[in-house]
C-alpha cells in the first residue's frame, strides 16, 4: 500500500498496535504525528523507525486534556499542511473488578481516556478533514464493543461508546467526503492483555491467557500486525467506499 506523503496522526503511538501501525505507515511513505504519554518512548520509536526530521512530529499528550489534543492537531496541520489519516487509538484497560466492587476513580479514568480523549480527537481532526473534503479516520474499538466481559465493565462501556460515536461521526462526515471506521480487535498479544491477565489472576496469569485463547476459534491472540494490516487497509484508497463500518479482527469470535 502506498501512503507517499500522506499525513497520518496516531494516538497511543508507542503501544503495541500504535507502534506497529506507525512502522507500516512509515514504510509506505507517510509523514507521521506520533502522540502518546511519554516523550522518551516517542523518541525511542522515532529512532527505531529511522524517521527523518522533516517526516515526523512527536507530541507528549494525555488525550484527556482537551487543550493538548487541540495542540497536537494544530501542530500537525502547521508542520505538514493537512491531515489525511487519523488513527484514534489511545486506550486503557483499567482495573479488573466486578461492577459491585468498582472504584469510581477507575470508572472515571477509563471513560475519560477511552471516550472523552477519543472524542476530543474527532472534535479537532474532523474540521480539518472537512475543509480538505477528504480524510479517513480509524477508531480503535474492540470486540469489547459488542460483548460483555466479566470484570471489565468500564472498558466494555467505553468500547460500546466508541462504536456508537464511530457510526455517528461517519454519518456527520459523509457529506464532506470523510470516512470514519472502526477496527475491533479481539485479545491482542501485547502489554494490554499482559496487564489484564495479571490483574484478573495475579497468581496465574497464564491460565487467564489460556482461557481467552479458548474463546478464539483460530486458537490464538491477534498480533499487533494483524490489527495494523486492517488499520492500513481502512486508511487506504482501497477502502474509499467504506464508512461507518466496524471491522472485527478477532480470529472468528464474532462467528459464535
Ligand X SMILES: NC(=O)c1ccc[n+]([C@@H]2O[C@H](COP(=O)([O-])OP(=O)(O)OC[C@H]3O[C@@H](n4cnc5c(N)ncnc54)[C@H](O)[C@@H]3O)[C@@H](O)[C@H]2O)c1
Contact status: 15 vs ligand X (CB under 6 A): yes
Q: By CB under 6 A, what part of segment 116-135 binds ligand X?
A: 117
Using CB positions, name the residue nearest to ligand X.
15
Set of cell numbers at residue 213: 485463547
DSSP assignment of 53-103 equals GGGEEEEE--TT-HHHHHHHHHHHHHHHS---EEEE----------GGG--
Query: Do residues 34 and 14 make contact, with C-beta atoms less than 8 angstroms apart?
Result: yes
> Using the rule CB under 6 A, is 17 a contact of ligand X?
yes
Q: Which is nearer to ligand X, 96 or 113 (CB)?
A: 113
**Position among 187, 197, 230, 248 found at the interface with ligand X (CB under 6 A):** 187
Nearer to ligand X among residue 142 and residue 243 (C-beta): 142
Binding flag, residue 191, ligand X (CB under 6 A): yes
DSSP state of 241: T
Question: Which triple of cell numbers denotes residue 110?
Answer: 477509563
Residue 155 annotated among the catalytic residues of the structure: yes
Interface residue with ligand X, options 33, 34, 137, 188 (CB under 6 A): 188
Distance CA 173, CA 109 (A): 28
Nearer to ligand X, 37 or 49 (CB): 37
> Of 119, 155, 176, 241, which is the active-site residue?
155
- Indicate the helix (H) or strand (E) that contains 180: strand 178-185
- Judged by CB under 6 A, the chain residues 54 through 93 that form the site for ligand X are 61-64, 89-92
Cell of 196: 489484564
Positions annotated as catalytic residues are 155
Amino acid at each position: 500500500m502506498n501512503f507517499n506523503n500522506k499525513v497520518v496522526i496516531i494516538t497511543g503511538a508507542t503501544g503495541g498496535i500504535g507502534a506497529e501501525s506507525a512502522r507500516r505507515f512509515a514504510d509506505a511513505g507517510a509523514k507521521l504525528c506520533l502522540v502518546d504519554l511519554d516523550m522518551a518512548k516517542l523518541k525511542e520509536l522515532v529512532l527505531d523507525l529511522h524517521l527523518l526530521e522533516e517526516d515526523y512530529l512527536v507530541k507528549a499528550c494525555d488525550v484527556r486534556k482537551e487543550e493538548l489534543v487541540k495542540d497536537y492537531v494544530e501542530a500537525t496541520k502547521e508542520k505538514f499542511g493537512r491531515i489525511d489519516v487519523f488513527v484514534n487509538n489511545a486506550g486503557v484497560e483499567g482495573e479488573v473488578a466486578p461492577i459491585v466492587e468498582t472504584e469510581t476513580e477507575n470508572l472515571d479514568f477509563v471513560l475519560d481516556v477511552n471516550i472523552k480523549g477519543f472524542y476530543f480527537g474527532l472534535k479537532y481532526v474532523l474540521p480539518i478533514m472537512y475543509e480538505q473534503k477528504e480524510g479517513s479516520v480509524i477508531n480503535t474499538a474492540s470486540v469489547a464493543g459488542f460483548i460483555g466481559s466479566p470484570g471489565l465493565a468500564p472498558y466494555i462501556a467505553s468500547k460500546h461508546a466508541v462504536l456508537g460515536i464511530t457510526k455517528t461521526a461517519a454519518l456527520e462526515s459523509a457529506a464532506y467526503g470523510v470516512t470514519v471506521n472502526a477496527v475491533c480487535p479481539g485479545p491482542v498479544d501485547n502489554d494490554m492483555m499482559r496487564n489484564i491477565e495479571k490483574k484478573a489472576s495475579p497468581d496465574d496469569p497464564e491460565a487467564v491467557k489460556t482461557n481467552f485463547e479458548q474463546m478464539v476459534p483460530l486458537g490464538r491472540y491477534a498480533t499487533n500486525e494483524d490489527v495494523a494490516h486492517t488499520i492500513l487497509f481502512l486508511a487506504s484508497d482501497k477502502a474509499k467506499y467504506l464508512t461507518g463500518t466496524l471491522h472485527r479482527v478477532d480470529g472468528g469470535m464474532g462467528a459464535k
